[in-house]
Amino acid sequence: MACARVSGCPLYKAFAMKSSLRVWQSYYCDGDFSRCERLKRSSAGQPVPPNMLPNGKLLDVPIDQIQD
């Protein structure tokens, strides 16, 4: 079972398009999504920074600008 937010989550699409990021998708979105900090925040009605990874760390660059 995958995360219920895969259709609306911008990170899910970004992970699928970049092979270097696909491990995040496997581990969190299609795996242990209950540990995803983005999911926890959005479920609690809290804002989710667009550059936040599932582990809660913030990227220095927007996710769509990461080179593969």
Radius of gyration of the CA atoms of the chain, in A: 11
In angstroms, what is the minimal distance from the CB of 67 to ligand SF4?
A: 20
Please select the residue that binds ligand SF4; options are 17, 23, 27, 54, rule is CB under 6 A.
Answer: 54
| Rounded Cα distance, 47 and 27, in Å | 23
Q: Which of 57, 67, 66, 1 is closest to 29 using CA atoms?
A: 1
Q: Which is nearer to ligand SF4, 50 or 65 (CB)?
A: 50
Q: Please state, as a whole number, how many other Cβ atoms lie within 10 Å of the Cβ of residue 31.
A: 15
63 binds ligand SF4 (CB under 6 A): no
Binding mask of the shown chain, residues 3 to 42, with x at each position contacting ligand SF4 by CB under 6 A: x-xx--x-xx---------------xx---x--x-xx---
